[in-house]
Chains A and B, each alone.
Chain A
Amino acid sequence: MARFFAKHAAFLLLTLLVVSFLVFTLNEFSPGAVGRKILGAYATQEQVDLLTKQMGLDRPLLIRYVDYLSAAASGDLGYSARYKLPVKDVLVKHLTNTALLAAIAFACIVPLSMLLGVAAGMREGSRLDRTILMLSTVVASIPEFALGVFLASVFVVWLHWLPGTATLVAGGGWSAASQLVLPVAVIVLFDAGYVVSMIRASMVEVMQRPYIRTAVLKGLPFRRVILRHAVRNAMLTPITVIMLQINYLVAGVVVVETVFAYPGFGRMMLEATLFKDIALIEAGALVAVFLAVATNILGDLAYIALDPRIRV
């Protein structure tokens, strides 16, 4: 177990280093641009040069990278040019908002896709299976912004049941809960379509195993065969996929957050890149990669927990 963690922690660290260096190089390749960005188009070239020198941006790339790393290690991630706040505060605020959205969505996706996936996969080719397969394929094919537009045109424009934005500001007479309904619905539909098809495929495979045939032939009720024998084994492969969804839910929901003007991590990253807010981009990228690798490790751990044959 210790070796498992050491190996994965080393890989996590390596990935973080490589990615941070790549992002750092990409962003800071043209040092004059940073000073220009801060001072604006009307500053003279001397002023830009002076600021560049004051910020230490004229030093070699590698030295600045090491400086950045040591500052980051002590918790100083720099200052956001877009939000005029320390990067750490901006990050924490947006990550909390996104975590709320992601937690609700995740709590819906897992049971829903397990139910549908198992129901579809237990009798391959049945009418129920075909219906669920087709539905999940179609729903997973619709881009998130299109899903958002479709749902909003029904529930916002036509029925007036829900608000069209989720700014989390209690204005316009809509509660925070009602604001969250549509973003969560879009995420759940888009993501569950994919997870359902993974669970279904795994379930189909498990149902063809000899131990399932044995269980059926020795006269166990079908429900018991499914619940006791099939489901646990069928969840083995998809568990890593499900864990990877956490990664998508936090870092990948840029589109949903943009559609509904939700003040989350993805939209913050979009604004940071469009504004070229370098300190924020770098910190955000590190967070995203950390999450990605950490959920990967979590997925492996969940796999081990479910499969008694694997011990590390």
Chain B
Amino acid sequence: MSTPVAADVLTGSPPAAARLRPLARWRRRVAVLGESRPAAVGLAIILVWIVLAILAPTLAPYAPNANDVTALAHPTPSRAHWLGTDHLGRDIMSRILWGARPVLIIAPLAVLGAAALGSLLGLTAGYHGRWVGIVITRACDIVLSFPVIILYMIILAHFGSSAWNIIGVLTLTKAPIIARIVRGMTLDLREREYVAAAKMRGESALYIMLVEILPNARGPLVVDMCLRTGYNVIIIGVLGFLGIGLPPPDPDWGGMVKDTYGMMMVWPHMALFPCAAISSLVVGFNLLAVGLRELGLRD
């Protein structure tokens, strides 16, 4: 333990004690989550879905796109197909498990993208003020004033639908909301002493924005990102339902409902199970957001 600190700085590896600290901090944070029941329940639901999505290859009894022709006559839930089969004889449980994967990758990625872009825009608008701020705020207002669902339809119908296009569209349309939040907080934070101190030290504007201001704005940002992830899950489902989401045949919860809700009168289970899956995941994210907000308010 007598390693000189300077050497650690050079090699980039912190001493053992310091390395433990972030871990302990995380453990404390998770423990705090247990104090709010909504947060705990929400986190549990999300974790269950993440585990199910990761283990989909081993848990799913059938391949997601495999047609069981013998099941076509009786697609209702049975011993061979626990949640039944869809109109093409595909096992619904396997498709729901596999369908969790794209949602759980796209929704958080799009939120991270929106948070990165939105924070940068918001910081710039709030920190620089004047015409830079006005231009960014107005541009954000224009994007926000557009009914998003119609924007998605126009863009995705034009450029075609793929996972990356969905991530891009979600990032672009959610960034202005985050920019607005961050701008509001930056306007307040930039008057603080530590920002003045950093300016006196001669730090660059970028350094001040990212290192001095952004970390102090993270509380409301985290709650909002949690909510946005839930909304993104809804939007991915809606896009699939409208037929402009992830391209078939790979399972996508919204697309599964789109294919089968016309057969509701005869076989309601085909649409009901994917609906239940997507609803439970969004409930998880929103409960976590409610819980986080509660915890944040109490401190």
- Does B133 reach chain A (CB closer than 8 Å)? no
- Does A138 reach chain B (CB closer than 8 Å)? yes
B187 to chain A: closest CB distance in Å? 19
Of the 9-residue stretches A65-73, A94-102, A169-177, A252-260, which lies at the interface with chain B?
A252-260
Interface size class of A (residues with CB under 8 A): 35 or more
B39 to chain A: closest CB distance in Å? 12
- Does A85 reach chain B (CB closer than 8 Å)? no
Partner-B contacts on A (CB < 8 A) = 11, 14-15, 18-19, 23, 26-27, 133-134, 137-138, 140-146, 148-150, 152-153, 156-157, 164, 247-248, 251-252, 254-255, 258-259, 266, 269-270, 273-274, 276, 281, 284-285, 288-289, 291-293, 296
> When the two chains form their complex, are residues A258 and B242 in contact, meaning their CB atoms are under 8 A apart?
yes
- Does B186 reach chain A (CB closer than 8 Å)? no
> When the two chains form their complex, are residues A143 and B155 in contact, meaning their CB atoms are under 8 A apart?
no
Interface size class of B (residues with CB under 8 A): 35 or more
Main secondary structure, interface of B, reads helix
- Does B50 reach chain A (CB closer than 8 Å)? no
- Does B10 reach chain A (CB closer than 8 Å)? no
Report the bound CA distance from A19 to B158 in whole Å.
16
Point out the residues of chain A lying under 8 angstroms from B276, CB to CB.
146
> When the two chains form their complex, are residues B278 and A143 in contact, meaning their CB atoms are under 8 A apart?
yes
- Does B268 reach chain A (CB closer than 8 Å)? yes
CB contacts under 8 Å to A, within B244-299, are 244, 254, 257, 261, 264-265, 268, 271-272, 275-276, 278-279, 282-283, 285-287, 290
Report the bound CA distance from A27 to B145 in whole Å.
20
Report the bound CA distance from A17 to B65 in whole Å.
46
> When the two chains form their complex, are residues B154 and A157 in contact, meaning their CB atoms are under 8 A apart?
no
Point out the residues of chain A lying under 8 angstroms from B244, CB to CB.
273-274
Main secondary structure, interface of A, reads helix
- Does B153 reach chain A (CB closer than 8 Å)? yes
Task: Given the known inter-chain contacts A18-B142, A137-B287, A285-B154, please indicate yes or no for A251 contacting B264, CB distance below 8 A.
Answer: no
Contact of A274 among B142, B155, B243, B271 (CB under 8 A): B243
CB contacts under 8 Å to A, within B93-123, are none
> When the two chains form their complex, are residues B261 and A145 in contact, meaning their CB atoms are under 8 A apart?
yes
Point out the residues of chain B lying under 8 angstroms from A157, CB to CB.
264-265, 268
Report the bound CA distance from A146 to B244 in whole Å.
17
> When the two chains form their complex, are residues B264 and A153 in contact, meaning their CB atoms are under 8 A apart?
yes
Report the bound CA distance from A248 to B148 in whole Å.
9
Smallest CB-CB separation from B257: which chain A residue? A145
26 interchain pairs, CB-CB under 8 A: A11-B138, A23-B154, A134-B38, A137-B283, A138-B283, A141-B230, A141-B279, A142-B275, A143-B234, A143-B254, A143-B279, A143-B282, A145-B254, A145-B257, A146-B278, A153-B272, A164-B264, A164-B265, A247-B147, A251-B150, A252-B148, A254-B153, A270-B242, A273-B153, A285-B146, A289-B147
- Does B157 reach chain A (CB closer than 8 Å)? yes
Smallest CB-CB separation from B155: which chain A residue? A26
Q: What 1/0 flags go to B56-97 for Cβ under 8 Å of A?
A: 000000000000000000000000000000000000000000
> When the two chains form their complex, are residues B154 and A15 in contact, meaning their CB atoms are under 8 A apart?
no
Report the bound CA distance from A291 to B146 in whole Å.
9
Report the bound CA distance from A296 to B146 in whole Å.
11
